[in-house]
Amino acid sequence: MAGSQRVFRYVLLAVVALVVIFFVSASSGVGPGSGYTQKASELLKGQGSVYEGSGSNSVPAAGQDSKAGSGSNANPIDVVKSVVAPQHTAASSNTHDTTSPNPLSTTSSNPPLGQTAPGPRMNATFVTLARNSDVWEISRSIRQVEDRFNHAYNYDWVFLNDADFDETFVKVTSALTSGRTRYGKIDSEHWGFPDFIDQEKARKVREDMHERKIIYGDSVSYRHMCRYESGFFFRHKLMQEYEWYWRVEPSIELFCDIKYDPFKFMADNKKKYSFVLSLYEYVETIPTLWDSVKGFMKAHPEHIVADNSLAFLSDDGGESYNHCHFWSNFEVGNLDWLRSPAYVDYFNHLDRDGGFFYERWGDAPVHSIAAGLMLKKEEIHFFNDIAYYHVPFTHCPTGEQLRLDNKCHCNPKDNFDWNGYSCTKRFFEVIKMSLPEGYEKEQ
Ligand SMILES: Nc1nc2c(ncn2[C@@H]2O[C@H](COP(=O)(O)OP(=O)(O)O)[C@@H](O)[C@H]2O)c(=O)[nH]1
Ligand SMILES: [Mg+2]
């Protein structure tokens, strides 16, 4: 008992001694330890400036010169601040004006928003056919195209309409685009019934298709749109100066970064037409299209190229159409090809047969058949790395590494390519290319 009392007295004495030493050193401005206490209080002050967003030690915003802040000791404090930043309390978290750049962040190979990619640009433009009422749907598409690609390339964007674009459409779309925007009105001769069309016959067709519930079957404007996209958009005055186009429709999505220039890719690799999705056309809308095509092939055998991809379009050497087509709401293509005598003869032949109005021929099979017959196989390109959605189909690139490298956010299970209703597998067979690794898992 006496032993433990002695131990207690020693402990008490030690505590008293420590308290005395502490008071002596804390009350003195000089002497050992003062440097540490000063630094500690400065650090606290520094933290205060992060939390309160005020004071001479406030941190420069990201991108600004950190030397523009306070004194010469600003930088070491900045580092400490950024390290302590995760300890912010809820009450202080809404003062971000002094938040320092994250020292752990890494730079990406994709140019950050607002920075342009080096290198030459092609003579190319985006092109969109739209109504004023499409403004918010096309805005969504533009934002995606800009974020995923064009913020770094700043290509022009041509908007075409059968009516005048209104102020809102122009204001909103030009604010969203990084390149030059141009707005064109379509000539009435390119958007309307040609004089050789029997209006009464066309009206009866629409009534009949309405009754049979064929999608857009009763629509006049949809037919004008399909005919315009088939035969005229590339001849519009605003489009004349370009060699390449990329078609963009309202409400599409792009799921991956595009870290190179697809226009330049097309030019460098001698491509003329491209696609991301392919499928079978709704046969009720094109019952006599292939008859018209056969008539064209007979009238203009000089336009049919030797090394074509007829096998993509027909299973019997051209006797009948298998209804495979590239989905034309996405296209990157060559305008000079569309303006060539071969394509214009083809369009004129089809137009004369009247199927844009007596049936409901879509521009997708019209473009696809032209590409299949009048381009060499190797001039058609499948962009596996451009991930795309237009209701109701998704092209999500096959190949996990590709998706990770390009920051894709599509679910590979949604990929349509290897589905039985897609014609993309057939395209691979025709061009004798092996299917991308991992395709079996997506079937
Ligand atoms: N100016 C104009 N554009 C149209 C008209 N109808 C369709 N479009 C555009 O033509 C493209 C195809 O039309 P959309 O409604 O997307 O057809 P879908 O994709 O086949 O269902 C889109 O870019 C539309 O904005 C129209 O009457 N006038
Ligand atoms: Mg559409």
Domain CATH number, residue 410: 3.90.550.10
Q: Which tokens go with 411?
A: 């679910």
Residues 149 and 44 in one domain: no
Residues 198 and 317 in one domain: yes
pLDDT exceeds 60 at position 196:
yes
Identify whether 105 is part of a domain: no
Residues 360 and 423 in one domain: yes
Contact 59, 47 (CB under 8 A): no
Using the 3D structure, point to which of 92, 109, 132 is the last residue of a domain: 92
pLDDT 10s digits, 166-183 = 999 999 999 999 999 999
Identify whether 335 is part of a domain: yes
The set of protein residues with a Cβ atom below 6 angstroms from ligand 1 is 128-131, 134, 161-162, 221-222, 225, 249-250, 329
442/397 Cα distance (integer angstroms): 10
Contact 53, 95 (CB under 8 A): yes
User: Whose Cα sits closest to atom 22 in ligand 1?
Assistant: 249
Which of 382, 437, 381, 390 is CA-nearest to residue 414?
390
Domain tally for the chain? Answer: 2
Q: pLDDT-derived band of residue 135, with 50, 70 and 90 as boundaries? A: very high
Residues 207 and 349 in one domain: yes
225/191 Cα distance (integer angstroms): 7
Q: Which tokens go with 412?
A: 């590979």
Q: Which tokens go with 400?
A: 């996990």
Which of 343, 323, 327 is CA-nearest to residue 335?
343
Identify whether 264 is part of a domain: yes
Residues 129 and 87 in one domain: no
Residues 45 and 154 in one domain: no
Question: Model-level pTM?
Answer: 0.78
Rounded mean pLDDT of 370-397? 98
pLDDT exceeds 90 at position 35:
no
pLDDT exceeds 60 at position 55:
no
How confident is the model at residue 103, as a pLDDT?
A: 62
Residues 300 and 363 in one domain: yes
Residues forming beta bridges with residue 158, ordered by sequence position: 127, 182
Using the 3D structure, point to which of 41, 71, 92 is the last residue of a domain: 92
Which of 80, 51, 52, 78 is CA-nearest to residue 67?
78
33/440 Cα distance (integer angstroms): 70
Contact 244, 264 (CB under 8 A): no
CB neighbour list of residue 372: distance below 8 Å, 6 or more residues apart:
308, 309, 310, 312, 313, 380
- Mean pLDDT value across the chain: 83
Identify whether 302 is part of a domain: yes
Which residue has 């400065």 as its token pair?
42
Give the Cβ contact number of residue 412 at 10 Å. 17
Rounded mean pLDDT of 269-281? 98
Distance of CA 216 from the midpoint of ligand 2 (Å)? 12
Domain, as residue range, for 158: 124-442
How confident is the model at residue 440, as a pLDDT?
A: 82
More confident: 23 or 389: 389
How confident is the model at residue 246, as a pLDDT?
A: 99
Identify whether 101 is part of a domain: no
Residues 86 and 184 in one domain: no
Q: pLDDT-derived band of residue 112, with 50, 70 and 90 as boundaries? A: confident
Which of 92, 83, 179 is CA-nearest to residue 128?
179
User: Whose Cα sits closest to atom 18 in ligand 1?
Assistant: 329
Distance of CA 418 from the midpoint of ligand 1 (Å)? 28
Buried b (16+ CB within 10 A) or exposed e, 306-317: eebbbbbbbeee
Question: What are the residue numbers of the active site?
Answer: 331
Which of 253, 252, 233 is CA-nearest to residue 129?
233
442/414 Cα distance (integer angstroms): 8
Atom of ligand 1 nearest to the CA of 221: 27
User: Whose Cα sits closest to atom 20 in ligand 1?
Assistant: 329
- Peptide bond between residue 436 and the one before it cis (omega within 30 degrees of 0): no
Identify whether 107 is part of a domain: no
pLDDT 10s digits, 322-338 = 999 999 999 999 999 99
Residues 233 and 358 in one domain: yes
How confident is the model at residue 26, as a pLDDT?
A: 39
Residues 73 and 165 in one domain: no
Identify whether 98 is part of a domain: no
Using the 3D structure, point to which of 74, 92, 110 is the last residue of a domain: 92
C-alpha 312 chain-centroid distance: 27
Residues 176 and 299 in one domain: yes
Buried b (16+ CB within 10 A) or exposed e, 17-31: eeeeeeeeeeeeeee
Nearest ligand for residue 134 CA: 1
How confident is the model at residue 111, as a pLDDT?
A: 73
Q: pLDDT-derived band of residue 263, with 50, 70 and 90 as boundaries? A: very high
How confident is the model at residue 113, as a pLDDT?
A: 72
User: Whose Cα sits closest to atom 10 in ligand 1?
Assistant: 129
What percent of the chain has pLDDT above 90? 72
pLDDT exceeds 50 at position 34:
no
Rounded mean pLDDT of 58-83? 30
Residues 162 and 260 in one domain: yes
Mutation to probe ligand 1, out of 132, 134, 136, 139 (largest number of atoms < 8 A from CB)? 134
How confident is the model at residue 313, as a pLDDT?
A: 98
Distance of CA 96 from the midpoint of ligand 2 (Å)? 41
Least confident of 87-91, 192-196, 204-208, 404-408: 87-91
Give the Cβ contact number of residue 402 at 10 Å. 17
Identify whether 56 is part of a domain: yes
Atom of ligand 1 nearest to the CA of 186: 1
Atom of ligand 1 nearest to the CA of 229: 10
- Alpha carbon dihedral 423, 429, 435, 441, in 10-degree steps, equals 50
Nearest ligand for residue 138 CA: 1
Contact 406, 385 (CB under 8 A): yes
Question: Which DSSP symbol is given to 415?
Answer: B
Nearest ligand for residue 229 CA: 1
